Amino acid sequence: MARLVMKFGGTSVADIDHIRNVARHVRREVDAGHQVAVVVSAMSGATDQLIGWCAAALSNRQIFDAREYDAVVATGEQVTAGLLAIVLQDMDVNARSWLGWQLPILTSDAHTSARILEVNGSELIRRFAERQEVAVIAGFQGVYQQTGRITTLGRGGSDTSAVAIAAAIRADRCDIYTDVDGVYTSDPRVVPRAQRLDKIAFEEMLELASLGAKVMQVRSVELGMVHNVRIFVRSSFDRPEDIDPRGNPPGTLICDEGEIVEQQVVTGIAFSRDEAQISVRQVEDKPGVAAAIFGPLAEANINVDMIVQNVSADGKTTDLTFTVPAADYQRALDVLVAAKPAIGYARLDGATDVAKVSVIGIGMRSHAGVAAKAFRALAERAINIRAITTSEIKFSLLIDAAFTELAVRTLHSLYGLDKATA
Ligand code: ADP
Ligand code: ASP
Ligand code: MG
């Protein structure tokens, strides 16, 4: 007997037929004698619709009360948790639904992007033992204990709910069921030749996720790494009856680096179009200028990512270029305009039609020249690189958004990640 967490994303619970399919996956594991906690997302598109309604509800103010936004958007998961419990009971599987505040899942008070602080899994464990009851838990939500108000965990947050619950109930495995059958060398929607990885190290998955691969929420990977949860990414679209619960289904295990025998130099390519570039032209080339620019941005809670400072030609002024999330672009420009007297610059330039393409691999720690190859390959395709950042196991390139797919596919081939064609 094992204890499992099974998480199903939005496309896996898109309608009642899909929810029935999910219930059959759950029943397969229950019939095999396992204790099961299920975590569900909202039906695909439901969260977007709820967010749209929040925006539409405002006509006088610019921003809504984040606590009320959470009260609205958390409902998507309540619907699917209840529906799955009904379908399971209809199949004679003992099940009940749980909302975040009922367990409870305690979080910080950062409404709309709260962090999980503590999960109480004791009641679930008691019910596994005494009633063989399946727990169906609404993902993406928790509660801030001091106020008792509902919180949500940021987009894609049901992954984090699942991993946190797996850690709390000491599950043997946390299965993330989604619309792809594992983690691929790049987004299979963009790179048809991408290959499924049998295993990926936590550190690499963390980079892939934070650099744009939305298959796992970043925070869920961090939690998995800290609590050593075995996370297995797999497809919910396989017929439940065709899967042997004791066999080796297709999927990707996210695990410790030490468990990976054949480590490639490059493991995957990620990309993100949610970037914007800002150039501050002709700032004085003197100590304190960077602080004058980035201090106010940090105070405004704007995350600055890539930073490039040109060598000044005249010894007096220079240009400073950096990226911010596209959603913060206008706010960042406003902050810089307000800080102009303190910074002192001639002009601000910006662009939102940029993309960040990143190459990730633990093998880069011990191999030189990996990035240089990429610069050459992109130059041959006339793709201009606007900025570069590197760290131990990854490097990122900022390019024109129009070239995203070409750049991703070029780098995917360059590092030998393409699937052999038949
Ligand atoms: P869910 O609704 O199940 O949480 P998501 O849409 O959040 O699913 O994540 C799954 C999607 O992630 C896939 O459909 C795929 O397009 C995308 N994706 C991006 N990068 C990767 C990758 N490297 N491997 C697998 N899927 C990826
Ligand atoms: N429903 C939420 C979202 O769409 C959480 C999730 O699906 O993980 O972001
Ligand atoms: Mg997701």
Residue 208 and residue 171 in one domain: yes
Higher pLDDT, 37 or 264: 37
Residue 209 and residue 274 in one domain: no
213 CB near ligand 1 (under 6 Å): yes
252 CB near ligand 1 (under 6 Å): no
Q: Distance from the CA of 155 to the center of ligand 3, in angstroms?
A: 8
47 CB near ligand 2 (under 6 Å): yes
Q: Distance from the CA of 7 to the center of ligand 3, in angstroms?
A: 10
408 CB near ligand 1 (under 6 Å): no
Residue 242 pLDDT > 90: no
Residue 346 and residue 291 in one domain: yes
Amino acid identity of residue 6, one-letter, is: M
Q: In the block, which residue shows the tokens 């606590």?
A: 67
Q: Distance from the CA of 233 to the center of ligand 1, in angstroms?
A: 10
Q: What is the pLDDT of residue 240?
A: 87
163 CB near ligand 2 (under 6 Å): no
| Residue where a domain stops, chosen among 257, 286, 313 | 257
Ligand lying closest to the C-alpha of residue 153: 2
pLDDT in tens, 311-323: 777 778 999 999 9
For residue 155, give the ligand 2 atom closest to its CA: 9
**Residue 263 maps to a domain:** no
**Residue 56 maps to a domain:** yes
Rounded CA separation 274/7 (Å): 26
Amino acid identity of residue 166, one-letter, is: A
Residue 250 and residue 356 in one domain: no
Residues whose CB falls within 8 Å of the CB of residue 82, separated by 6 or more in sequence, listed in order:
97
Query: Which tokens belong to 1?
Result: 């007997």
Nearest CA to ligand 1 atom 27: 187
User: What is the CA angle 376-381-386, rounded to 5?
Assistant: 70
End-to-end CA distance of the chain: 41
Residue 78, CA distances (Å) to 137, 138, 185, 189 in order: 8, 6, 34, 30
Q: Distance from the CA of 147 to the center of ligand 1, in angstroms?
A: 34
For residue 184, give the ligand 1 atom closest to its CA: 24
**Residue 273 maps to a domain:** yes
Rounded CA separation 42/357 (Å): 30
Residue 161 pLDDT > 70: yes
Residue 144 and residue 174 in one domain: yes
CA torsion, points 61, 63, 65, 71, in degrees to nearest 10? 110
Q: If DSSP codes are grouped into helix, strand and coil, which group holds residue 391?
A: strand
12 CB near ligand 2 (under 6 Å): no
Q: If DSSP codes are grouped into helix, strand and coil, which group holds residue 109?
A: coil
Q: What is the pLDDT of residue 281?
A: 94
Rounded CA separation 311/64 (Å): 44
User: What is the CA angle 137-221-259, rounded to 5?
Assistant: 115
Query: Which tokens belong to 189?
Result: 């929607």
Residue 207 pLDDT > 70: yes
184 CB near ligand 1 (under 6 Å): yes
Q: Mean pLDDT, to the nearest integer, of 19-47?
A: 97
**Residue 216 maps to a domain:** yes
Q: Say how many residues make up the chain.
A: 422
Residue 346 and residue 230 in one domain: no
Identify the domain containing residue 233 by its residue range: 3-257
| Residue where a domain stops, chosen among 212, 235, 257 | 257
SS3 content of the chain, % helix, strand, coil (to 5): 40, 25, 35
**Residue 244 maps to a domain:** yes
Q: Concatenated DSSP letters for 222-270?
A: HHHHHHT--EEEEES-S-GGG--TTS--S-EEEE-GGG-SS--S--EEE
Q: Distance from the CA of 347 to the center of ligand 1, in angstroms?
A: 40
Rounded CA separation 36/29 (Å): 7
Q: What is the pLDDT of residue 327?
A: 92
Q: Are 114 and 107 in contact (CB under 8 A)?
A: yes
**Residue 214 maps to a domain:** yes
Q: In the block, which residue shows the tokens 């946190």?
A: 164
Rounded CA separation 362/16 (Å): 42
For residue 42, give the ligand 2 atom closest to its CA: 1
87 CB near ligand 2 (under 6 Å): no
Amino acid identity of residue 104, one-letter, is: P
| Residue where a domain stops, chosen among 234, 257, 280 | 257
Nearest CA to ligand 1 atom 11: 215
Q: Concatenated DSSP letters for 328-354?
A: GHHHHHHHHHHTHHHH--SEEEEEEEE
pLDDT in tens, 366-387: 888 899 999 999 999 999 999 9
Q: In the block, which residue shows the tokens 């439901």?
A: 46
Q: Distance from the CA of 8 to the center of ligand 3, in angstroms?
A: 9
User: Using N-to-C axis directions, what is the helix angle for 46-57 and 66-73, rounded to 10°?
Assistant: 140
Residue 113 and residue 201 in one domain: yes
Band (246; pLDDT cuts 50, 70, 90):
confident
141 CB near ligand 2 (under 6 Å): no
**Residue 114 maps to a domain:** yes
Q: If DSSP codes are grouped into helix, strand and coil, which group holds residue 147?
A: coil
Task: Name the residue of 12, 39, 41 whose CB sits within 8 Å of the most ligand 2 atoms, as the mutation to test its pocket.
Answer: 41
11 CB near ligand 1 (under 6 Å): yes
pLDDT in tens, 129-153: 999 999 999 999 999 999 999 999 9
245: left (phi over 0), alpha (psi -120 to 50) or beta: alpha
How many structural domains is the chain composed of? Answer: 2
**Residue 32 maps to a domain:** yes
For residue 140, give the ligand 2 atom closest to its CA: 5
pLDDT in tens, 192-204: 999 999 999 999 9
Q: What percent of the chain clears pLDDT 90, i.e. is strictly above it?
A: 88
CATH number at residue 398: 3.30.2130.10
pLDDT in tens, 254-313: 999 999 887 789 999 999 999 999 999 999 888 898 999 999 999 999 999 999 988 777
Q: Distance from the CA of 243 to the center of ligand 3, in angstroms?
A: 23
Amino acid identity of residue 5, one-letter, is: V
Residue 294 and residue 177 in one domain: no
Residue 74, CA distances (Å) to 47, 52, 315 in order: 8, 14, 55
pLDDT in tens, 333-358: 999 999 999 999 999 999 999 999 99
Rounded CA separation 65/47 (Å): 17
Band (62; pLDDT cuts 50, 70, 90):
confident
Task: Name the residue of 13, 79, 155 whose CB sits within 8 Å of the most ligand 2 atoms, as the mutation to test its pocket.
Answer: 155
Catalogue the E-assigned strands of 139-178. 141-144, 149-152, 173-178
Residue 245 pLDDT > 80: no
The residue among 242, 244, 219 whose CA lies nearest residue 108 is 219
Residue 220 and residue 312 in one domain: no
Residue 9 and residue 50 in one domain: yes
Q: What is the pLDDT of residue 422?
A: 52
CATH number at residue 164: 3.40.1160.10
Rounded CA separation 347/340 (Å): 10
pLDDT in tens, 396-412: 999 999 999 999 999 99
Residue 37 and residue 149 in one domain: yes
Residue 281 and residue 225 in one domain: no
Q: What is the pLDDT of residue 277?
A: 97
Rounded CA separation 59/62 (Å): 8
